[in-house]
Chain A
């Protein structure tokens, strides 16, 4: 394999080259693809069984970001079946997320979202199954999903930050903090008169339980991917624009950018001593070069992307993106560098050549790293130990993937319990892998069996816009926490007796939903009145959800058993309007309806 950086490939990667050159690169991949797909029989013989038959359950939960669909998805692995979509920053007309009063209170009028990184809450270096956290790169928010219901329960706005991309929770001793990174440098506070040299990147720390911003560290660099260590001492971020450039060429100017390491002890110390400025209500600590001992800058080639920490907690691996190398940083040496005993660059213990366009690294728990390589369109398995011992090409296996992989993630790989069973390769293009669906095609996600020496491609599926990253969590960790609602009154307005209440111009309609009837058969309001409808599903049977759709009033939502949701609207159209159950509930589901009569 040619390890030299291919100039044309880079240009294509950056989206600068024309369509012709892209097609040329891809045709090579098409020719080499077929042999990688093993038949079911073969998989049984020389690997793990990846087929999940009807009635069987998956052995892992996968939690996927949804990119600019704004949602989070839950998949079963190895079947790759989609089990649930969790609306987060988007409007979901199915469940009513973004339509109900409860969800509007969290979303505050913003329905565009861009979720990149979903991570779980941790205890002692592994998932505790309590929460998921996800970033919104578009509107700079962090959402928390409670795993017991798999629903969003909190959203925090993060000021002073733009392009909030990387997110990672504290891994040890448990998740009290989450860190997020600002990829787009901006003036802080955001003053349009400031020149680009006064645009900054921000590393934000968020309290995971209270879902509020603890503080921010301001640096010159932009910050994209994030990681935390396994000791509760450091968080990390890669920067591809240490140049503070505002054009692609300016961002590519330097041969080295940085891995930035943030020292949590010193952050806490700065907060205690009051070494911060309050900007937009948030404590901002100055972490700029030469002004702070909080940030360690380890030079990394070139425009690096991912940073991932090995399950034994020893190494942070950064990927070069436009350099064909991964940079291995020894986290014990980071202690020495912060103590001033060694230089930052002396924390680097290996820099093996991996392939063209290395992006993200995951781990099999047996001492191997697997790196996604974008331009080569491969997953590359290599030995960390051999790399640290000085092997410049410690490669064990290379697997073609289809096409142009972004993130990859192995089962439990972001925990100390990495088990090396499955890997998901989130490829950015599907091209010819599926039946043609017109110019806008789905992405292609491929499942790889990594239990043996060689990686085996066993499954692929088309995926709608546009997951960036995922985590793969052992079933038992999640399963024991997922439950049905047992307390109807966790919503203070839960309705057990239907009725209509009036307060001046405001009509409050309280409705029970029991298959197959709503608690009222008709409601009369006057044109122009403000109406709040509160619906509680009084059915206790698992999985018996009801919908509430008000015809011609642009309202629909779903209530799960014992759940309460409400909507408020102005009855501005006179007439007879049927409200009906949209979520199949009963043999007489179609008969489950009632009239809203809006009197002129």
Chain B
């Protein structure tokens, strides 16, 4: 209310409000739909265009902002991307429309970003497509947050459009009722029944010297009391569950070893660039606001951990009762001066007993 009062009594003299101080950080490009799909006619649909060539449907074009606006990069802003798909789900073209990723800070140029995007045409969205595996980071080495989020934007939007257009099966809306029953489990029990999954990366696998393992990572969903309460203890579990809004889901990740799943990307850009989840057509990336630190596990027989976190999956489209994929993108140094990345994936499905 006070703000309004101030405005009324003052003479408004805005000067220099737009400014060009952002010039170096904001990049906007003009576009035509033909840039990403070879077609002679485009028909506007809800959130995308159908592309026709000589009267024949040849594919689809869309702007990522209409589908995955919540995915934001290092800059805190969405990287607006124009994407073309053929009718089989192959990417026909990708064009950046707007971004303010500060890649200039790590000595990269706009061309590097464009070169990174050149990898996409020809790739199928029906297949796994993750950074560090199918998509190389070579062009923008160091800009992991940008790469991971950009990939999530392209893949996430494309799969949504493909589903909307009937190219891939629409996701079944399944009830996601989780059991509220509590049963006491030890750490070993939780591993055995698959409520906690493990990714173990040895230094030997990476071809580096050093203590084993390089990273021994465990993760799992926390919502079912039989998992969450056993792992976090009564008080923290209650605290976490009561902080969840709507149908948010809580995930824990802990690790030991000399590697780190947290990294430091979240400290600067707020985005965790070393892991994400995939479920159906969606990719889930975590930000610092989704995170709280976890320093110890309470279940009997739990390992001592070096780092850990509780991560909230904010998007209520995530279905904890359904299978999802955990992607890990791990940097390592074969030599002191060289940094490489290796990615790992593991599927996770809550044990049947925890679903009603």
Contacts and interface: CB of A to CB of B under 8 A. Distances in A.
Interface of A: 55-57, 476, 480, 484, 492-494, 497-503, 508, 517-522, 524, 539-544, 586-588
Contact of A521 (B3, B13, B19, B102): B19
A492 B1 contact: yes
A592 to B, nearest CB: 9
B76 interface: yes
Nearest to A58: B295
B2 A493 contact: yes
Given A499-B15, A541-B288, 6 more contacts: A57-B293, A493-B3, A500-B14, A519-B19, A521-B16, A587-B102
A491 to B, nearest CB: 10
B29 interface: no
Contacts of A517: 19, 21-22
Contact of A520 (B2, B17, B76): B17
A540 B270 contact: yes
What 7 pairs between A and B have smallest CB-CB spacing? Answer: A492-B2, A541-B270, A499-B14, A517-B21, A587-B105, A501-B10, A542-B288
Contacts of B269: 541
A500 B9 contact: no
25 contacts: A57-B293, A57-B295, A476-B235, A480-B239, A492-B1, A492-B2, A494-B3, A499-B13, A500-B14, A500-B15, A501-B13, A502-B11, A503-B9, A508-B10, A518-B21, A520-B16, A520-B17, A521-B21, A522-B16, A539-B76, A540-B289, A541-B268, A544-B270, A586-B268, A587-B105
B267 interface: yes
B37 to A, nearest CB: 35
B105 A520 contact: no
A539 B76 CA distance: 9
A476 to B, nearest CB: 5
A540 B1 contact: no
Contacts of A519: 17, 19
A55 B307 contact: yes
Contacts of B289: 484, 540, 542
Contact of A502 (B13, B105, B239, B270): B13
A544 B75 CA distance: 13
B62 to A, nearest CB: 27
B10 A502 contact: yes
Contacts of B19: 517, 519-521
Contacts of A502: 10-11, 13
Contacts of A497: 17
Contact of B105 (A476, A494, A543, A588): A588
Contacts of A500: 13-15
A476 B17 contact: no
A522 B16 CA distance: 8
Interface string B165-192: 0000000000000000000000000000
B232 to A, nearest CB: 11
Contact of B306 (A55, A503, A588): A55
Given A492-B1, A540-B289, A588-B105, A503 B10 contact: yes
Nearest to B15: A500
Looking at B9, B12, B267, B268, the one whose CB has the most chain A CB atoms below 10 A away is B268
B6 interface: yes
B57 interface: no
A500 B13 CA distance: 6
Given A484-B289, A492-B2, A541-B270, A499 B10 contact: no
B353 to A, nearest CB: 29
A503 B20 CA distance: 27
A227 to B, nearest CB: 28
A142 B285 CA distance: 45
A521 B235 CA distance: 49
A110 to B, nearest CB: 26
B208 interface: no
Given A500-B14, A521-B21, A493 B270 contact: no
A503 B10 CA distance: 5
Contacts of B267: 543
B236 interface: yes
B270 A499 contact: no
Contacts of A522: 16
B242 to A, nearest CB: 9
A501 B105 contact: no
A543 B264 CA distance: 13
A499 B269 CA distance: 27
Contacts of B10: 501-503, 508
A147 to B, nearest CB: 15
B11 A503 contact: yes
Contacts of B20: 521
Contacts of B306: 55
Contacts of B295: 56-57
A480 B243 CA distance: 9
Nearest to B306: A55
Contacts of B105: 587-588
Contacts of A498: 17
A539 to B, nearest CB: 7
Contacts of B2: 492-493
A518 B12 CA distance: 20
B187 to A, nearest CB: 20
A480 B22 CA distance: 38
A480 B268 CA distance: 24
A52 B21 CA distance: 44
Contacts of B11: 501-503
Contacts of A520: 15-17, 19
Nearest to A534: B6
A324 B236 CA distance: 45
Interface string B3-37: 10010011111111101111000000000000000
Nearest to B242: A480
A541 B76 contact: yes
B17 A501 contact: no
Contacts of A539: 76
A501 B21 contact: no
B6 A542 contact: no
